[in-house]
Amino acid sequence: MIRNDVAITPELVKEHGLKPDEYERFVNLIGREPTITELGIVSAMWNEHCSYKSSRIHLRGLPTKAPWVIQGPGENAGVIDIGDGLACIFKMESHNHPSFIEPYQGAATGVGGILRDVFTMGARPIAALNFLRFGEPDHPKTPHLVSGVVAGIGGYGNSFGVPTVGGSVGFDKRYNGNILVNAMAVGLARTDEIWYAKATGIGNPIVYLGSKTGRDGIHGATMASAEFDDASEEKRPTVQVGDPFAEKLLLEACLELMQSGAVIAIQDMGAAGLTSSAVEMGAKGNLGIELDLDRVPCREEGMTAYEMMLSESQERMLMVLKPGMEQEAQAIFHKWGLDFAVIGKTTDTLRFVIKHEGEVKADLPIKELGDEAPLYDRPWVESPRQPVIAPDSVQAPVSEAEALLRLVGSPDQCSKRWVWEQYDHLILGNTVQTPGGDAAIVRVEDGPKGLALTTDVTPRYCEADPFEGGKQAVAEAWRNITAVGGLPLAITDNLNFASPERPESMGQFVGCLKGIGEACRVLDFPVVSGNVSLYNETNGQGILPTPAIGGVGLLDDVTVNASVAFKREGDAIILIGATQGWLGQSIYLRDICGREEGAPPPVDLVQERRNGEFVRQLIRSGQVDTVHDLSDGGIGLALAEMAIAGGVGASVTTAPEGLPLHAFLFGEDQARYLIAVDEDLAADILYEAGAVGIPAVTLGVTGGDALILPGRQAISLKQLKAAHEAWLPNYMAGKA
């Protein structure tokens, strides 16, 4: 009989984030009052972060399969086949709550966690990306959070030795109390050397690897599953501390150990540490697990079973080893100066048994800890429809040139150089396209292939129309990959939403997921991994619905690609895709007119696909090397970015009749690209587009040292560049 020395009171249950009915469910499941260790274990397994209890039934609707998908959601990361016997393994994950409380360590361990997810599967990380959202610039906490998060991401990735090649940074008052820090890692492995979490064999040794266990991060996952209030900063002790040096050693040791053939199964200790990793390995393999905590390497003395099971100390792994290989495995880990300890074994009992100091501290049914987690079909309401805003009803600016200059230098649209210069984006020597373009490109080993990588979503669209916004997020990732010449293959999604217990925000979640699913199906762009982060709200104020999409695409020949920079004078600038001048929810409407209104631009996925395939073929055939997708700020902002990046001006003289100039320049109609191409080729391209019914029209020509807009409005490149580069460094220096 298991000894119970702590009375489990309703207060204690509440402190563990369990609702009374959830606790009752657990008691019924085990048929007795749990020990404190068991309560800790179930709180870790049944919180939102680990159990997906509010999101699971909706996630089922996402397409996750394609001929090139080797592993979809449910493992440490998704795996796709990229040919030549190679697999790309990738995932994005949030570290929102901890990063708000302790920005440097929160962001750093977010990066560490996602890198570990990727190399746990046998992949060497080759690129990192991120997706960041902060509160409004004027909020007193924002500069401190930006500074800490960026330093944390850099501090971890730079030391670990992975190039951080892309990302997204934005500001909105709706993130004042809940910032978003989503980190994505991309790795490479051989298709026949991929490692999974599923344990096999009875009586096989379970091995603890990596750093020692301390008291840091206890209840991290529970904290990440609760909304914030004014006392949230008191939760700082629940944030873990990262050690990228230990992680680098762990990477090298794990990959070396995998090569030795000693590994049966491997699982990293992330959220809910030892508990979650051990349960996962056993449950997936239909096996019981028995752990002897006296053998766990600890950093501090006198740690209890409860503390060890819930610690979220970083840079730790759990493995099931082939019996008899312990010596060899230990030698590899000791060479790298890491802890190695056999702490348990697999059993045929299907029980999760924890022993400590000669006593059984927990004895739970292992499958039920995962399978019997509560599952909620939470009530939700559809977001109210927003009216379509007619272009004519939107105020014209004093001058389009002045409006463009303001947009180019606005917090959301300005250059993020200040951020990505703090990330080592060049290490490994394979970064073909650096941050600042549509998608990053990294070469695969010595070539000829390359990967195109991006992170995207337009949260204001998602709020105004979750379904269209969800579609748009996927479409934009697909478009960004296409714009550099990549064939989009798969996505990882990081679903950041407010409390699922409010029907409005649950409705946003449901709507966005439907849109994401729809776009993934039409664009053949399945979801292979992801993460759900709910309860992003403070004192009842939720974030904008933000399903960040991390996209991966393939370039068969990495030397054949396109970038946004104008490269020559005298190139024809051609607009691909139909323009109606959609200003609802546009950046122009928000930042120039001060109106956050209307329906967002609808996404015609069939058109998206056709236009994109046309552009990709132009790049791949070597005809076009200058492409920019159109998104925030429309044609105007794209022209400015292309001119700034290339140091070559442009003159756009043609604007269509019957459309206000500001709607033409700043409308955010989807499925569009700007390309710049040798004038001799332009006629052919226009003809080809016409032949297959793709809207294409010449807007102007590159050249000169200014951007000239219709109506002879000119902005010098110098002015554009200064505006684009100035805002963020000035802001961070306290001057903006």
Q: Which of 429, 622, 658, 734 binds other proteins (CB under 8 A)?
A: 429
Q: How far is CA 258 from CA 188, 451, 557, in A?
A: 14, 25, 30
H-type helices in 568-660, by residue range?
587, 605-620, 634-646
**Catalytic, out of 16, 49, 356, 724:** 49
First CA to last CA across the chain, in angstroms? 66
Q: Which stretch binds other proteins (CB under 8 A): 243-251, 294-302, 500-508, 715-723?
A: 243-251
Q: Which of 43, 71, 158, 238 binds other proteins (CB under 8 A)?
A: 158
Determine if 151 is a binding residue for other proteins (CB under 8 A). yes
Contacts of 474 by beta carbon, 8 Å cutoff, 6+ apart: 491, 515, 516, 519, 520, 523, 525, 549, 551
Nearer to other proteins, 416 or 479 (CB): 416
Q: Which stretch binds other proteins (CB under 8 A): 61-69, 90-98, 166-174, 429-437?
A: 429-437
- Nearest approach in angstroms of CB 467 to other proteins is 40
Nearer to other proteins, 45 or 441 (CB): 441
- Measuring CA to CA, which residue among 523, 685, 526 is closest to residue 613? 523
Three-state secondary structure readout of 692-718: CCCCEEEEEEECCCEEEECCCEEEEHH
**Taking the alpha carbons of 191, 194, 199, 205 in that order, is the dihedral positive or negative?**
positive
As a whole number of angstroms, the distance between CA 496 and CA 300 comes to 35
**640-659 b/e (C-beta count within 10 Å ≥ 16 → b):** bbbbbbbebbbbbeebeeeb
Contact by Cβ (8 Å): 481, 439: yes
- The owner of tokens 């129309």 is 465
Quick note: the x/- pattern for other proteins over 641-660, rule CB under 8 A, is --------------------
Q: SS3 breakdown of the chain: % helix, strand, coil, rounded to 5?
A: 40, 25, 40
- Name the binding residues for substrate: 94-97, 116, 240, 312-314, 533
Determine if 249 is a binding residue for other proteins (CB under 8 A). yes
Nearer to other proteins, 155 or 391 (CB): 155
Q: Which stretch binds other proteins (CB under 8 A): 157-165, 407-415, 515-523, 684-692?
A: 157-165
Neighbours of 620 (CB within 10 A): 18
Determine if 430 is a binding residue for other proteins (CB under 8 A). yes
- Nearest approach in angstroms of CB 61 to other proteins is 41
Determine if 246 is a binding residue for other proteins (CB under 8 A). yes
Residue 49 known to be catalytic: yes
- Nearest approach in angstroms of CB 421 to other proteins is 5
Q: Which of 46, 333, 336, 380 binds other proteins (CB under 8 A)?
A: 336
**Catalytic, out of 16, 58, 95, 219:** 95
- Nearest approach in angstroms of CB 159 to other proteins is 4
Determine if 421 is a binding residue for other proteins (CB under 8 A). yes
Contact by Cβ (8 Å): 591, 675: no
Region of 423 please: left (phi>0), alpha (psi -120 to 50) or beta.
Answer: beta
Nearer to other proteins, 421 or 679 (CB): 421
Q: Which of 243, 268, 463, 468 binds other proteins (CB under 8 A)?
A: 243
Amino acid identity, position 697? V
Determine if 567 is a binding residue for other proteins (CB under 8 A). no
**Concatenated DSSP letters for 342-371?**
EEEEEESS-EEEEEETTEEEEEEEHHHHHH
- Name the binding residues for Mg(2+): 93, 117, 268, 531
As a whole number of angstroms, the distance between CA 534 and CA 610 comes to 35
Q: Which stretch binds other proteins (CB under 8 A): 44-52, 148-156, 200-208, 303-311?
A: 148-156
Q: Which stretch binds other proteins (CB under 8 A): 12-20, 415-423, 464-472, 685-693?
A: 415-423
Instruction: State the number of CA atoms in the 13 A half-sphere of 275 facing the CB.
Output: 34
- Name the binding residues for ATP: 52, 91, 493, 530
Which residues are identified as catalytic? 49, 95
Residues found near other proteins in the complex (CB under 8 A): 151, 154-155, 158-161, 243-246, 248-249, 336-337, 420-432, 434, 443, 447, 558-559
